[in-house]
Structure 1
Amino acid sequence: MREETAEPTEEEPAEEPVEEPAAEPVPEVIESTEPVVAPKKDLSTTIANAKSYVYTIYTDLEQGSGFLFNSKGDVLTNAHVVKDASYVVLTNSDGQEFSGQVIGISETTDVALVRVDALAGKEPMEMEMSQVDVGTEVFALGSPENISNTATEGKITDVNKNFSDDYEYKNLYEMDATIKKGSSGGPLIAAESERILGINSIILEDDPNIGYAIPIYTVIDQLNEWVKNPMQYEEGEVVLPDVKDAHFDEELLQSFIEAYYELIPYSLNDQQITYYQSYLLPGSQGETEGKKLVEELAIEDRIFDVVKPTIKNIEIGEEEAVIEAEAVFTFHSPENDETATITHNKRYTVIIDEYGDYMIETIEDNQE
């Protein structure tokens, strides 16, 4: 009789527990008796989108405003802001300081260019190179009375206005968006296209509610010539002031995250609008997660109305800051206007990039 030897059998591996995917937030239906209107672009949206391109300018003689003109780090402002200055310091909306050097200044047209080496490589906002029509809705940004990123809204009320003062002002835009001392040099932005139209420059003493801006297209040739052939200085002629190292500020960090949330509903309703992405560090986990959040929430039967963030905690380190935030997204159904909310709790890691701007590097769920 042939004996059969049983082959040894391998023990079945124990099944490892499978992690359940995190549950999607369940919308909470709320009753509302008020009509719901989806958000549209407004003053705060423009400020949030343009904030990283506008700077407050300080000299030993004046305080004014300016905005990024090109990727060489050149900031455009009025000549009267930097005329006869011994030094030029610029600050961005996140409180970072930069030293600048005037590379071109006009004695006739009230425009000047300040080169900021630390901003080289940063891309500017788009600019309008042709005249716009009377009635165009606009925003005037600047730092009146040293308050950065202040904006007023209005319309172009006339074109081709001419004045003579210390400078020759020709073909100006007239607007009913009020500008004040300290706003000089800031950008005039078209509300619809969000292109920069001109440089906020003057108000009239007898009618301070009317402002005037120098159109970009009227001075572009002079500006490009300065970029190509910047002013040369003798050794020791230019004073480069000491500026603060990049730093975090709790109040500015809170404003940064709140502004980020404020932009998200626009993308949830129209994914072609990507304002919020300017707050995300390119190539980072934060950029991936930020886009993922919008994709997950933006479904056809939801129209998002508002998001209300609450900053829970801020921890500041040497190279990064961590912000814990809760956000309540309110949306309604386009069919029956039934309103609901979704709540998210997130932990944001924020760094300061090479241009001195706060940027979100990581986004994680914040388990409470």
Structure 2
Amino acid sequence: MFCPKCGTKNIENARFCSQCGHSYTSNQQRNRWWLTGIILTFLLISGGFIYAFVLDKEQISETTVEETIQTPVEKISDSTKLEEEAKDEKEANISTSQSVTKEESTTEQIAPSPQTSTEKDKKEIIREAQTKVYTILTEDSLGSGFLFQDNGTVVTNAHVVAGYIDVTLRDQDGREMNGKVIGISNQYDVALIEVQNLKGTSPLEMEMKESEVGTEVIALGSPQGLENTASIGYLTGLDRSFVSEFQYENVYQIDAQVSPGSSGGPLLDGKTGKVIGINSALLTSDESIAFSIPMYTMTDLLTNWSQSPMDENEVASTFTFYNEFSAYDEYESDDRVDDEYAEDEEDTYGVPFDEASLANFIINFRGNYETALRNEDFGYIEDQLLYDSQAYYEMANYLDEISGQGMLFKFTLNDVTNINMQTDQAIVSTYEVFDFMNAAGEWSVYERIKDYYVVTDEYGNYKITHIEIYQ
């Protein structure tokens, strides 16, 4: 190694220079202190950073501890505040959740909602309506009607009261009242009856606009004489038009069960209870289809009759068969009954025939006969046959013979083609078509021309005595 002072080369690890005596250990010691200083400086700086980090962490920890360790009063106050804030947040979340759920469910399905003020319970509708629906009775027919206005006017079908001016009405409690026809149409199947006993009674509410297909409906009336019967169904068609004894234009088609005797009864909206139609006709080939005249189409005509009633002469002149009643009443009042007429009266019990009521009687019989065949029950037609007559026993025996064999009858056409009114009887001719399935399950179509021989009993009711069939 060389001396840094004189440059003399000395041996390795010499402590002093052999030439000038310069000490090597002082430099080494200085170098060591220099290195030591650098290391100490680094450690001090590092320690400062570490101390600052630890101090900051301790301050944060102390702050948390100070906030946590408080007096009991402060803890209760803060706890209550936190609970209230949590409760408010929870309620807000629930409200938001309900709102979102409600919005989502609206697009997926409509949840049931309480009935609005315009909707009523069906039991309530039927119960209220039955107090204002009546059975209408004449000498040879039975139908239904309902209260139209508080002046005691009752709506029914024209074919129910055709041929009569004075009729009888019976309410749900069995009380009978006298009524008088003050309006009747030979074009539309509607009529209006005035009943003095019903003046001041609130009527059923009427619907003054067209109802929609799918509307739930309730039909009320006295089908087959079962008074105050209610049946529920749907409005299944609009704008049905056909011509029968009357002109039916743009009528409702319904599947609510109706039968002879329901004619003239109200068709109600199943939700509001308003009268939307007048039950009028039944499709004989399919008893699940019936027709109802829309109420809004007849309101003006009925209101006109209510405000300006037709007199008896106007009512009588509407149908030609009214004239027979007038002539008979005049003849009887003059006491000009000779022996020949008295003999005829003994056979017919003094009640004349008329075409409309005879046609209605036979059509009703045909409908009842189909029901009797389907149910294999003679009772459905027994009261329309004269007891101990040929027709009575033939029908009873036939129904007994086919009972239990599984035969089916579906009537597709039943038209009255002619009415021959004689002194002691009337002959009603019909053209009938029906499908028949025998016991073997084989279907056939039959066409029949029939003559129904009709008389009146002691009460003036039509009775069939004989049925002539032409193949």
TM-score by length of 2: 0.41
More strand by percentage: 1
Q: Following superposition of structure 1 onto structure 2, how do residues 231-246 of structure 1 map, counting pairs within 5 Å?
A: 231-233=310-312
CA shift, 1:222, in A, is 1.0
1:184 alignment counterpart: 263
1:223 aligned to 2:302?
yes
1:142 aligned to 2:200?
no
1:156 alignment counterpart: 235
Choose between structure 1 and 2 for higher RCO, CA contacts under 8 A separated by at least 6 residues. Answer: 1
2: CA distance, partners of 1:41 / 1:105: 33
2: CA distance, partners of 1:72 / 1:46: 22
- Distance of aligned partners of 1:206 and 1:42 in 2 relative to their CA distance in 1, 3 Å threshold: farther
Residue type at the aligned position of 1:196: V
1:132 aligned to 2:199?
no
1:60 aligned to 2:139?
yes
CA shift, 1:178, in A, is 1.3
1:69 aligns to what SS in structure 2? strand
1:171 aligned to 2:250?
yes
1:316 alignment counterpart: none
Residue type at the aligned position of 1:166: E
Residue type at the aligned position of 2:228: N
Q: Following superposition of structure 1 onto structure 2, how do residues 24-63 of structure 1 map, counting pairs within 5 Å?
A: 43-63=122-142
Q: Following superposition of structure 1 onto structure 2, how do residues 1-368 of structure 1 map, counting pairs within 5 Å?
A: 43-85=122-164, 87-233=166-312
1:108 aligns to what SS in structure 2? coil
2: CA distance, partners of 1:44 / 1:192: 11
Deviates more, 1:83-92 or 1:152-161: 83-92
Residue type at the aligned position of 2:220: L
RMSD: 2.1
CA shift, 1:146, in A, is 1.3
CA shift, 1:71, in A, is 0.7
- Distance of aligned partners of 1:185 and 1:228 in 2 relative to their CA distance in 1, 3 Å threshold: same
Contact 2:251 2:294 survives alignment (8 Å): yes
Contact 1:43 1:153 survives alignment (8 Å): no
2: CA distance, partners of 1:221 / 1:50: 22
Aligned residues: 200
Contact 2:182 2:194 survives alignment (8 Å): yes
Q: Deviations over 1:185-242 (max 9, x none)?
A: 00000011110001000011111111110011111111111112211136x97x9xxx
Residue type at the aligned position of 1:199: I
- Distance of aligned partners of 1:201 and 1:175 in 2 relative to their CA distance in 1, 3 Å threshold: same
Contact 1:153 1:177 survives alignment (8 Å): yes
2: CA distance, partners of 1:44 / 1:221: 30
Residue type at the aligned position of 2:294: P
2: CA distance, partners of 1:41 / 1:63: 30
2: CA distance, partners of 1:211 / 1:87: 28
Unaligned regions of 5+ residues in structure 2, if any?
Answer: 1-113, 314-324, 330-471
2:397 alignment counterpart: none
2: CA distance, partners of 1:138 / 1:216: 13
Larger Cα-atom Rg? 2
1:127 aligns to what SS in structure 2? coil
Q: Deviations over 1:297-338 (max 9, x none)?
A: xxxxxxxxxxxxxxxxxxxxxxxxxxxxxxxxxxxxxxxxxx
Contact 2:168 2:176 survives alignment (8 Å): yes
Contact 1:61 1:85 survives alignment (8 Å): no
Contact 1:60 1:86 survives alignment (8 Å): no
2: CA distance, partners of 1:101 / 1:86: 6
Residue type at the aligned position of 2:191: A
Q: Deviations over 1:41-97 (max 9, x none)?
A: 665443212111100000012100000000110000000000002630000001111
2:87 alignment counterpart: none
1:264 alignment counterpart: none
2: CA distance, partners of 1:144 / 1:45: 21
Contact 1:43 1:151 survives alignment (8 Å): no
Residue type at the aligned position of 1:174: Q
1:198 aligns to what SS in structure 2? strand
Contact 1:175 1:212 survives alignment (8 Å): yes
1:80 aligns to what SS in structure 2? helix
1: CA distance, partners of 2:281 / 2:308: 28
Residue type at the aligned position of 1:102: V
1:222 aligns to what SS in structure 2? helix
1:159 aligns to what SS in structure 2? strand
Identity %: 45
Q: Deviations over 1:242-272 (max 9, x none)?
A: xxxxxxxxxxxxxxxxxxxxxxxxxxxxxxx
- Distance of aligned partners of 1:110 and 1:57 in 2 relative to their CA distance in 1, 3 Å threshold: same
